[in-house]
């Protein structure tokens, strides 16, 4: 075995130095293919990560439900009856649905006047529970906080502002601790939301609304209807069971058939998440296939030059066979040549791709609309491994078929006469 | 039996080429024994089966029927790799077209069978230098074949054929591509090798070369029609 390798290596070295130009061109085409596949996959990966993070900015594993009308009669009640859940109904559901991560109702007051000094802004004010903050990713900027259970128990007049709204009202001033008027009642700003890129919303972007405790909302605005009921499950697979249980608990209380599909206008974000995952996977596969095809062109190039070499060297191969070369000593150098070309080309391509991706990472993403949407091309281990696998296969095949032809040469017929 | 001296021992060798439509019987039963130290010339018109016989003797091909023992080994049923090893150890080829590898030096050409034979690099160098000196090209080892004359190329080829100290040197029209004077040189070299004890089998049209052999075998239509002393 060792002897075989030594012979193959020696033969390979003596043939490789004879065709530097062809080798260089072949390696360049493989490097090109590698750069293409790596950049396409890196672009896809960056896009996926960015879209995921944009999408998750609203929160995940949530069911968002708007009260609607029944479409089935229930216990003598006719169909077409609107349901009117109250906060107590949400509390009732919370006690009976311990499997949920969180459940809350949201009051909404649209186009509400928020005033600070002489500045008045009309905006959305949400009244809800403290668990809304974490589930909906309302993370406060430094020194601030979201509303907490005490605020709620004591009906404190505190407000958490979306960052855009805070900017509209306060301009360059720091809003924390300042008092503003909401519907002519004074509220203290306890927190301002950190900037986030958000691609999905219900009601409007989180950056442009204000959140106050639901008890305070009730006191200031009366006890209006709940605009929306939202719950969050621990794991996305829990969602179907949670929805069923939710209706079983609230149906009898609110007077609707738990099987009635029309009572709530439902937005199941898990379905969206799954769908988006599939779309992204499809997109990545698409990029990968295009990249692989480009790379295969490089592989075909290698195979092509190797075939030409085999043909050119038919006589030489015959001579070597006559001198006692074993089959593997004929095929080995060709396979090795194919592998070395792909290896060197692949490495060169990977290097170039890494340089490009690293260069792009220095571009500022904040404030760049294209990059905020597309994200940054990102190289990951799965991408690297997939590329290596494709390259390796290319290299082996590119060497194998020409080598097989070389080994099938009949020495007797090549040796006589010129 | 005195077979212990036989280098080549062919019994009832037949070779049929099956081209699909027609079967061509190139050799129709050849019995040929060549003893160690003989210088045999195989002559015959084209199409007589000379080349086929040469391929079989050189283990480049296997017979359809019959047994062939080369240096005591029955090679008729050997696999391709086994045949390659036998060629490497037991047969030295000299071709009409020299068949040197053009991109590598004379030295590397002569070294190649030693490489295939698993000889260590240092021993390879010694052996190549010795052979190149023996064929009178000690000063030209680093030349490429294209930088050598025809006669010189054939000397390199002969050095290569001798590299593994084969049982038999098999030459196919070795003077066919050479002018008279270079051809004469090569014939002289063959005679010298024979006197030094090599076993030679030469296939040729050239009767001046054939007459230098100790024995002439004439083939016609796939059969041996004459086998005897060269003087006859």
Residues A14 and A131 in one domain: no
Facing A327 at nearest CB: one of B81, B104, B118: B81
* Model pLDDT, residue A339: 86
The answer to whether A36 touches A353, Cβ cutoff 8 Å, is no
| Interchain CB contact of B214 with A (< 8 Å) | no
Q: How far is B162 from chain A (nearest CA, A)?
A: 11
Kindly report, residue by residue over A367-412, the tens digit of the pLDDT. 666 777 777 788 888 888 888 888 888 888 888 888 888 888 888 8
Same domain, A260 and A120: yes
| A141 and A44 assigned to the same domain | no
Among A5, A315, A318, A324, the residue to mutate for chain B (most B Cβ within 10 A): A324
Across the interface, whether the CB atoms of A320 and B112 are under 8 A apart is answered: yes
In the numeric block, which tokens belong to residue B64? 């359809």
**Residues present in chain B in total:** 232
Domain interval for residue B102: 37-65+75-229
- Give the model's confidence band at B2: pLDDT under 50 very low, under 70 low, under 90 confident, else very high: very low
Choosing from A269, A294, A319, the residue where a domain stops is A269
Residue of A300, A290, A293, A294 whose CA lies nearest to A26:
A300
Which residues lie below 8 Å from residue B229, measured CB to CB, with a gap of 6+? B214, B215, B216
Q: In angstroms, what separates the C-alpha of B1 from chain A's closest C-alpha?
A: 31
Domain that holds residue A216: 62-269
What pLDDT is recorded for position A37?
Answer: 87
Distances B92 to A37, A59, A102, B57, B60 between C-alpha atoms, Å: 52, 81, 89, 11, 12
Q: Is residue B125 part of a domain?
A: yes
B229 Cβ under 8 Å from any chain A Cβ: no
CA angle B91, B93, B99 (to 5 degrees): 150
Would you state the pLDDT for residue A139? Answer: 93
Residues in chain A: 418
Query: In sequence order, which residues have a C-beta less than 8 Å from that of residue A330 and are 6 or more positions away?
Result: A317, A320, A321, A403, A406, A407, A409
Q: How confident is the model at residue B1 (pLDDT cuts 50, 70, 90)?
A: very low
Q: Let me know whether A327 and A201 are in one domain.
A: no
Final residue of a structural domain among A269, A296, A316: A269
Any domain includes B60: yes
Q: Is residue B177 part of a domain?
A: yes
Regarding whether A279 and A259 lie in a shared domain, the answer is: no
Q: Are residues A200 and A52 in the same domain?
A: no
Mean pLDDT along residues A268-292: 87
Quick one: pLDDT band at residue A348, thresholds 50, 70, 90? Answer: very high
pTM of the model: 0.68
- Bridge partners of B25, per DSSP, are B16
Name the domain count of chain B. 1
Cα angle value B32/B175/B76 (rounded, 5°):
30
Question: A346 and A227: one domain?
Answer: no
Q: Are residues A304 and A252 in the same domain?
A: no
The runs of H, that is alpha helices, within A102-159 are: 132-135, 149-153
Could you tell me if residue B6 is inside a domain? no
What are the b/e assignments for A52-66, b being 16+ CB within 10 Å? bebbbbbbbbbbbbe
Taking the mean position of all CA atoms in its chain, how far away is CA B38? 13
Strands A158-161 and B65-70, sheet pairing: unpaired
- The values of phi and psi at residue B33, to 5°, are -120, 125
CATH of the domain at B197: 3.40.50.300
Does some domain include residue B110? yes
Is B104 an interface residue toward A (CB < 8 Å)?
yes
Q: How many domains does chain A have?
A: 2
Whether the per-residue pLDDT at A161 is higher than 50: the answer is yes
- Residue B176 domain-assigned? yes
φ/ψ of A122, rounded to 5, equals -95, 125
């Amino acid at each position: 075995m060792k002897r075989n390798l030594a012979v193959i290596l020696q033969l390979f070295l003596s043939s490789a130095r004879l065709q530097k130009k062809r080798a260089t061109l072949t390696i360049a085409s493989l490097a090109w293919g590698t750069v293409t596949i790596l950049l396409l996959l890196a672009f896809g990966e960056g896009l996926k990560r960015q879209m995921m993070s944009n999408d998750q900015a609203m929160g995940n594993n949530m069911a968002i439900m708007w009260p609607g009308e029944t479409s089935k009669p229930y216990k003598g009640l006719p169909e077409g009856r609107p349901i009117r859940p109250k906060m107590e109904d949400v509390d009732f559901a919370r006690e009976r649905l311990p499997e949920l991560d969180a459940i809350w109702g949201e009051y909404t007051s649209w186009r509400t006047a928020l005033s600070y000094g002489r500045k008045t802004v009309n905006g959305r004010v949400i009244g809800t529970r403290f668990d809304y903050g974490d589930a909906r990713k309302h993370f406060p900027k430094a020194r601030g906080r979201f509303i907490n259970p005490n605020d709620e128990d004591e009906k404190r007049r505190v407000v958490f502002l979306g960052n855009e709204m805070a900017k509209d009202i306060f301009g360059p001033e720091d809003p924390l601790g300042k008092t503003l008027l909401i519907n002519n009642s004074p509220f203290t700003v306890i927190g301002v939301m950190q900037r986030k890129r958000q691609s999905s919303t219900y009601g409007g972007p989180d950056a442009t609304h204000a959140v106050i405790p639901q008890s305070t909302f009730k006191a200031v605005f009366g006890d209006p209807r709940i605009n929306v009921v939202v719950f969050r499950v621990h794991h996305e697979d829990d969602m179907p069971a949670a929805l069923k249980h939710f209706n079983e608990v609230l149906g009898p209380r609110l007077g609707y058939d738990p099987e009635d599909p029309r009572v709530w206008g439902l937005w199941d974000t898990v379905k969206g998440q799954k769908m988006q995952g599939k779309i992204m996977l499809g997109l990545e596969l698409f990029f990968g296939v295009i990249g692989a095809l480009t790379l295969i062109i490089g592989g075909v190039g290698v195979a092509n030059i190797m075939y030409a070499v085999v043909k050119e060297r038919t006589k030489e191969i015959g001579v070597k066979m006559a001198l006692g070369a074993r089959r593997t000593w004929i095929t080995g150098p060709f396979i090795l040549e194919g592998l070395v070309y792909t290896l060197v080309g692949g490495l060169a391509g990977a290097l170039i791709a890494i340089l490009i991706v690293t260069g792009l990472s220095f571009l500022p993403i904040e404030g760049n609309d294209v990059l905020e949407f597309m994200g940054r091309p990102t190289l990951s281990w799965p991408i690297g491994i997939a590329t290596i696998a494709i390259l390796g296969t290319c290299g082996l095949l590119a060497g194998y078929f020409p080598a097989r032809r070389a080994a099938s040469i009949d020495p007797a017929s090549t040796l006589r006469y010129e | 039996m005195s077979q212990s001296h036989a280098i080549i021992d062919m019994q009832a060798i037949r070779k049929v080429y099956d081209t699909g439509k027609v079967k061509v019987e190139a050799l129709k039963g050849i019995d040929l024994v060549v003893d160690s130290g003989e210088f045999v010339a195989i002559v015959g018109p084209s199409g007589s089966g000379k080349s086929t016989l040469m391929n079989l003797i050189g283990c480049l091909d296997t017979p359809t029927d019959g047994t062939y023992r080369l240096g005591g080994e029955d090679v008729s049923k050997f696999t391709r790799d086994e045949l390659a090893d036998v060629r490497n150890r037991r047969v030295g080829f000299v071709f009409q077209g020299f068949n040197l590898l053009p991109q590598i030096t004379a030295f590397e050409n002569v070294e190649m069978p030693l490489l295939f034979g698993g000889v260590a690099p240092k021993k390879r160098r010694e052996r190549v230098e010795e052979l190149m000196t023996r064929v009178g090209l000690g000063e030209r080892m680093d030349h490429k074949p294209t930088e050598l004359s025809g006669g010189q190329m054939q000397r390199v080829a002969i050095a290569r054929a001798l590299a593994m100290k084969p049982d038999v040197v098999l030459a196919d029209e070795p003077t066919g591509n050479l002018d008279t004077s270079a051809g004469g040189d090569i014939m002289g070299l063959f005679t010298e090798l024979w006197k030094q004890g090599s076993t030679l089998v030469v296939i040729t049209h050239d009767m001046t070369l054939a007459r230098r052999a100790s024995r002439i075998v004439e083939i016609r239509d796939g059969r041996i029609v004459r086998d005897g002393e060269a003087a006859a």
